[in-house]
Amino acid sequence: MKNIVVVGSQWGDEGKGKIVDWLSEQADIVIRFQGGHNAGHTLVIDGITYKLRLLPSGIVRKNKVSIIGNGVVIDPWALLEEIKEIKSKGVQVGIENFIISESANLILPFHREMDEIREDAAGKGKIGTTRRGIGPAYEDKVGRRSIRVMDLRSEKNLDQRLDSVLQHHNAIRKGLGKKIFEKDQLKKDLLKIAPEILKYSQPVWLKLDQFKRKKKKILFEGAQGILLDVDHGTYPFVTSSNTVASSAATGTGCGPNSINYVLGITKAYTTRVGEGPFPTELNDDIGELLGTRGKEFGTVTSRKRRCGWFDGVLVRQTIKISGIDGIALTKLDVLDELDEIKMCVQYDLNGEKIDYLPAAVEDQLRIKPIYKSFPGWKTSTNGIKNMDDLPENAKNYIYAVEDFIGSKISSISTSPEREDTILIENPFEV
């Protein structure tokens, strides 16, 4: 038995969908452990494109069990819409292959409104959220006033829970001069969809224990990237959950000894969506080229991604923080046309050279990257499946990345197609 956690080693959008899809074919169970429908994975299978937001990537594969863990926040209407959408493409979603944790917290309409109200009021201080209510929902979770999946079972209990959470939200709304949120219609709406949500609801920790006893292979699917982690990312320009590999245990209800291998998905350059520090960002023709060739637009929001050179300092740091065992290097082919390729190997902070990302945001915004340059290969790597077939300069760049970040590269992606991958090490077979 081998259980694997997949995490993004940068700011997300590293191409996890393709890698997770390949791994999910080998896994028995695929489980999401954090985030919400603010992060998406795009899968292309047999010419059909699937854009997933809440559903784990295993859902598109037959004979797999897909699970949404307790660490995920769920917009129930968005989830039901996603299920409907994917069913229309011939994918089966039923109680035999899909489970929702009864302990998962719900995103409700007033969470989305609060997200918008705050972001609009923040001006230059905005975080760049997806305005889907993720942050406010997590706030209610830690504030112990949230509505959970299990609360939909009882109308009386739901009524009491809504009173509690709306007392908090309406006080804030009044203070901001906004109309208070009425409970009755929301309660009716929730009770209407409750049966559709509850039929998938189970104690996930118990199901995982049963699966482990049966020696099932479990794939823990992370969303976003480690640099968006609420503790370890570029705070406050982060998401509202822990995106590091260790949160796979907390977000599903199994011990850390259930994790055997951590795979970090890493783009051959760097991108970021939204606001916040980005030391290697390129606001020039090269940045535009990376964005165009890499089709750098968000799966969920379609927002244009900021692009820059590969930041080795950051990836080396996230590897240590998340206990990454191997790297899946993606989008190597995007670099094919460049004369010169750069990798950040140090920072300059007020004239002092440092080899890590400082915690203070004012320092993160002030640091300047120090680069090491590599000659480009100026030939197509698209679709290459064997390391020996890569151009010599491409191999030199890959070896330099591997040596600097201090982690082995287990695979190299050379196109969006799942088959176009150079496999060096299969995490399920290590």
Enumerate the active-site residues: 13, 41
Give the C-alpha separation, 374 to 394, whole Å: 9
Q: What is the separation, in whole angstroms, between the first and last Cα of the chain?
A: 11
Residue 195 burial (CB count, 10 A): 9
Paired tokens of 333: 């082919």
Q: Residue 370 region, left (φ>0) first, then alpha (ψ -120 to 50), else beta?
A: beta
User: Residue type for 139, please?
Assistant: E
Write the single-letter amino acid at 140: D
How many Å apart are CA 106 and CA 100, to the nearest integer? 12
Distance CA 319, CA 264 (A): 8
- Measured CA to CA, the distance from residue 269 to residue 397 in angstroms comes to 12
Kindly give the interhelix angle for 392-405 and 312-322, rounded to the nearest 10 degrees: 50
**Cα(177)–Cα(120) distance, integer angstroms:** 14
Which residues, other chains included, contact 46 with Cβ-Cβ below 8 Å and sequence gap of 6+?
none
